[in-house]
Amino acid sequence: MKWMIPLALAAIASPAAAAVNLVTNGGFEAPTTTPGGVIVVNSGDSFTGWNVLGSGKNVFLINKTYSEGGGSLVFNSNSGNAWIDLTGAGNQGPTSGISQIVATGTGTYSLSFFVGNATGRPDYTGPSTLNLSINDGPIQIFTNSDVTPNAMNWKAFSVNFFATDATKIAFTNGNIGDNALGLDDVSISAVPEPASWAMLIGGFGLTGAAMRRRRRVTAVLA
């Protein structure tokens, strides 16, 4: 009998605990970049989970130890071994980018990602601006103007959206003149409905009550 409450709580808590990233290769770890290396992916091609956008454009998968200026500027990732530069070679223009169709269902989802900004050379002087479109909808603009000397600065952003079916996300280059726009750690996860949160909070209350009752019983038996 004493195991019934913990098992019930496990069932209640499982929706929150089971929240997973629905984006494939959101950290851009595949294909594997060599230390200090760069992989060029052209438009019309794809790499694990992603399609490259823009006619005649390209994007760069960049290893976290890649550097320029004799090592004076290191293009570190936000996490993991790699990140993606949506400006490509030089600056490929506003249609350069990537897209993915994510297996969402009906409900509210949270999309989070990091935008990287580089400084330290004349062609890395401005803020980094990323354009996001969900299901080919209006462009949403996210800008990182923060600076980390001699390295990439990474800034977190998130947006919630409602889905009724699979969701297409597209990230494109919003930079003008600046030749680096970083994207890393893209994630989509379901947002628990209010009823789920109420059940979860109620479950925590049951846990506390059960623990208090057990302590009282133990004290009496002692």
For 83-99, the DSSP string reads: EEETTTTTT--TT-EEE
- Of 187, 200, 193, give the one whose Cα is nearest residue 159: 187
pTM: 0.82
Q: Render pLDDT for 4-15 as a digit per residue (tens, 0 to 9).
A: 334 344 444 444
Task: Quote the number of domains for the chain.
Answer: 2
Q: Render pLDDT for 194-208 as a digit per residue (tens, 0 to 9).
A: 755 445 555 555 555
The domain that contains 186 carries what CATH number? 2.60.120.260
Q: Do 176 and 222 fall within a single domain?
A: no
Q: Do 141 and 92 fall within a single domain?
A: yes
Domain, as residue range, for 152: 20-191
Instruction: Grade residue 214 by pLDDT with cuts at 50, 70 and 90.
Output: low
